[in-house]
């Protein structure tokens, strides 16, 4: 199944999309990778979803990626004697270590790490920012705060601390159990929630040992401040605009989205734009005009993937939401302004032979109007370098490793095909031409450009570039 767009679509599975038939419909509508949210899925459900995705993958004959999204630390207040209390601006309110049910003056905060870290002047945002508090004092056992905005607080509402660097790792005990389960299920990507610092990835990296690629969700100001370091130790990033919009001013989020997207493109790391992209399609068969514009901006910016959350997981129109996102992306990429916008944001290549080969491949393919760039990639590195160039011609990524092809299904522009490794250079050229022909990217007489590492099966050593003709039988020739 050949996509008519280069941006990828990541669709979340949930109550509306937890059958094999629905997963296949979502894939046919445009979903390239599926997300399993471990905040809502138990291990049995996760394993069933993975099995269904793999079944669909066998039916369609195309590699499909699976991303398991770990919940991360959830910070919540305790309970109230009355369930909820009314507050008003200027009121004093205390969050403390007393387990007694709360009232209009105080509530239990079952997180000693917060009590030890909050400083006077720090903000505490309750219930996605609906209640805003500012700390006045803190003795390590009780935070005395003043109500800045909001009207009420109730049981178990979430707490966000945009000004506080918490001494928390990104993994909770639940996350560690979930991580073991999803690695055993052989998912392709692990998404890590509430990353604050590059060190947060160390434990996951140690446990996973390369069995899955790591995606850092950027949803805290502390992560934005250390963006370059986090990109360096991550395999991909997600702009998680929901929590990011709670912890940072809403008006700052679009600029941060562009900052993260461009930084990832420069580094050659995939970036996913997520949250509320087609939110109204949870209950409506068509999106708002503003949502269409939001999706199109991410595509124009050159993001690798755009994500659906509740729209495909719990909405009334999951297939329609994926089809709409696909249609928007296809139309944007046909826009006459699209190539110039993508080109204007292109970064200079790194000073390596592999990057120089990828740059040359793009320039030659575009100058000679070749049918495709065909890149051999065992580890995925060569495919990522080719995608970093954002060429106007299609990229076909050939890999003998099915796990690599599945991971690359999240990457911009890569049409991934699992094929046995080439035996020599002639076989490499023939195989590239045959697959280009068979997959509908080229016809007899067309030319392709082939990149690979020589000697063969040398990871990350892209050093060869060759132009080949597609023969009448689909085989290649110089």
Q: Which residues are catalytic?
A: 35, 76, 217, 275
Helix ranges, 302-351 (H): 310-313, 318-334, 338-344
Task: Report the distance separating Cα 352 and Cα 362, nearest Å.
Answer: 16
Phi, psi at residue 296, to the nearest 5°? -65, -35
Torsion angle (degrees, nearest 10) of CA 170, 176, 181, 183: 60
**Residues in contact with 193: Cβ distance below 8 Å, sequence separation at least 6, in sequence order:** 69, 70, 71, 72, 73, 170, 217, 219, 240
Grouping H, G, I as helix, E, B as strand and the rest as coil, residue 405 is helix
**Residues in contact with 4: Cβ distance below 8 Å, sequence separation at least 6, in sequence order:** 330
Q: What is the largest CA-CA distance in the chain?
A: 81
CB atoms within 10 A of CB 456: 17
142-149 sheet: strands from edge to edge: 106-108, 92-96, 142-149, 131-138, 123-126, 159-160
- Which residue, chain included where needed, has tokens 């008003």? 88
- Residue 262 tokens, joined: 């461009």
Q: What are the CA-CA distances from residue 440 to residues 400, 412, 448, 449, 476 (Å)?
A: 20, 19, 13, 16, 15
Q: Across-strand partners of 146?
A: 92, 134
């Amino acid at each position: 199944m050949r996509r008519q767009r280069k941006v990828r679509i990541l669709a979340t599975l949930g109550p509306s999309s937890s059958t094999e038939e629905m997963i296949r419909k979502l894939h046919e509508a445009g979903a390239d990778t599926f997300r399993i949210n471990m905040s809502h899925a138990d291990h049995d459900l996760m394993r069933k979803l993975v099995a269904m995705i793999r079944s669909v993958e066998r039916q369609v004959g195309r590699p499909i990626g699976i991303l398991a999204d770990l919940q991360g630390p959830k910070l919540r207040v305790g309970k109230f004697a009355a369930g909820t209390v009314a507050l008003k601006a200027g009121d004093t309110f205390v969050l403390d270590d007393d387990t007694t049910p709360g009232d209009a003056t105080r509530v239990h905060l079952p997180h000693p790490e917060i009590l030890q870290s909050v400083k006077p002047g720090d903000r505490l945002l309750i219930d996605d920012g609906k209640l805003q508090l500012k700390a006045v004092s803190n003795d390590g056992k009780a935070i005395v705060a003043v109500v800045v905005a909001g009207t009420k607080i109730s049981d178990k509402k979430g707490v966000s601390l945009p000004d506080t660097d918490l001494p928390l790792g990104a993994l909770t005990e639940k996350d560690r159990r979930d991580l073991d389960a999803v690695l055993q299920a052989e998912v392709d990507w692990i998404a890590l929630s509430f990353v604050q610092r590059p060190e947060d990835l160390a434990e996951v990296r140690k446990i996973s040992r390369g069995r899955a690629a790591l995606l850092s969700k950027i949803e805290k100001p502390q992560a934005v401040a250390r963006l370059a370091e986090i990109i360096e130790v991550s395999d991909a990033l997600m702009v998680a605009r929901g929590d990011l919009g709670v912890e940072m001013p809403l008006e700052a989020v679009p600029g941060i989205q562009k900052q993260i997207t461009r930084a990832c493109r420069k580094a050659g790391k995939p970036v996913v734009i997520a949250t509320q992209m087609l939110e109204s399609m949870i209950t409506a068969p068509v999106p708002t005009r503003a949502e269409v514009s939001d999706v199109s901006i991410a595509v124009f910016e050159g993001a690798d993937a755009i994500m659906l959350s509740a729209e495909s997981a719990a909405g009334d129109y999951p297939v329609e939401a994926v089809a709409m996102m696909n249609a928007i992306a296809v139309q944007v990429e046909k826009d006459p302004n699209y190539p110039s916008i993508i080109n204007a944001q292109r970064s200079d290549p790194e000073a390596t032979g592999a990057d120089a080969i990828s740059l040359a491949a793009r320039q030659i393919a575009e100058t000679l109007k070749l049918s495709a760039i065909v890149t051999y990639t065992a580890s995925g590195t060569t495919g990522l370098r080719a995608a970093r160039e954002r060429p106007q011609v299609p990229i076909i990524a050939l890999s003998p490793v099915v796990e690599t092809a599945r991971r690359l299904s999240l990457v911009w522009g890569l049409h991934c095909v699992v094929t046995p490794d080439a035996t020599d250079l002639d076989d490499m050229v023939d195989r590239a031409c045959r697959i280009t022909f068979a997959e509908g990217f080229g016809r007899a007489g067309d030319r392709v450009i082939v990149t690979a590492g020589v000697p063969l099966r040398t990871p990350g050593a892209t050093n060869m570039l060759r132009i080949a003709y597609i023969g009448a039988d689909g085989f290649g020739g110089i």
